[in-house]
Amino acid sequence: MSQSTERLQKYLARAGIGSRRKCEDLIRSGRVTVNGKVAIIGQSVKESEDRIHLDGERVTGAERLVYIVMNKPPKVLCSLKGQGGHSTVIDLIDVRERVYPVGRLDLESQGLILLTNDGDLANHLSHPRYGHEKEYRVLLNRLPDPHQLKAWRSGVLLATGEKTLPARVFTERNSQNQAWVRVTMRQGLKRQIRKTAQGLGLFVIKLIRVRIGPLKLAGLGLGEWRFLSRNEVNDLKKSVRV
């Protein structure tokens, strides 16, 4: 148990509540109390002395930091709570620690997702300014022509008014009607690859995330998960300078 003081949002993240940004939102919304009083951003707490509650439930520090990699199947949500009859990535794992998914894959997409209760790592992996690489295999309805590939690599203005950053894009293989492309990028706009393809007159049939920074998907079947090795955790932290 920690005997030193720390910022409340960091304590909540360490306790597995969510990323530090998520914990800051919870504090701002008035859902967190310290010793019976509504908490404020930047407040310092000491676990051995202060009573910290979220929505009336006592929050205690995480017993251990847990790092899990999963091959998310399609039709499974990257969230803590299910909706619309869909299960979540949390439903697929069996650990006593309260972990949460880092980043997102939309409902139809599959592949690598990281789950952890390490708030510092989650914050670094989620925040746009750290710009870690993510790699995807994407099945398109047809082979992109040279002009479409050039535009994708340079950046595309989406219908939402957002401009995508340059990305590495190349064709892996193609048939008469479909093509697999490999996309590597540092940006993470919502449904970015699908919207980019649509803006170029293409359609995504299947989307698989195969890498986040140094962490690779290899070896896991759909719905399977495993704990990260110590070396994998260290490499992941080094990649985002935690």
Active-site positions read 106
DSSP state letters, the chain: ---S-EEHHHHHHHTTS--HHHHHHHHHTT-EEETTEE--TT-EE-TTT--EEETTEE----SS--EEEEEEPTT-BSSSS-BTTB-BGGGG---SS--EEES---TT-EEEEEEES-HHHHHHHHSGGG---EEEEEEESSPPPHHHHHHHHH--B-TTS-BPPP-EEEEEEE-SS-EEEEEEES---TTHHHHHHHHTT--EEEEEEEEETTEE-TT--TT-EEEPPHHHHHHHHHHTT-
User: Is 118 within 8 Å of 67 (Cβ atoms)?
Assistant: yes
Distance in angstroms (rounded) separating the CA atoms of residues 63 and 9: 17
Distance in angstroms (rounded) separating the CA atoms of residues 158 and 192: 9
User: CA nearest 88: which of 107, 103, 111, 69?
Assistant: 107
**5 Cβ contact partners less than 8 Å away, ≥ 6 residues apart:** 44, 45, 46
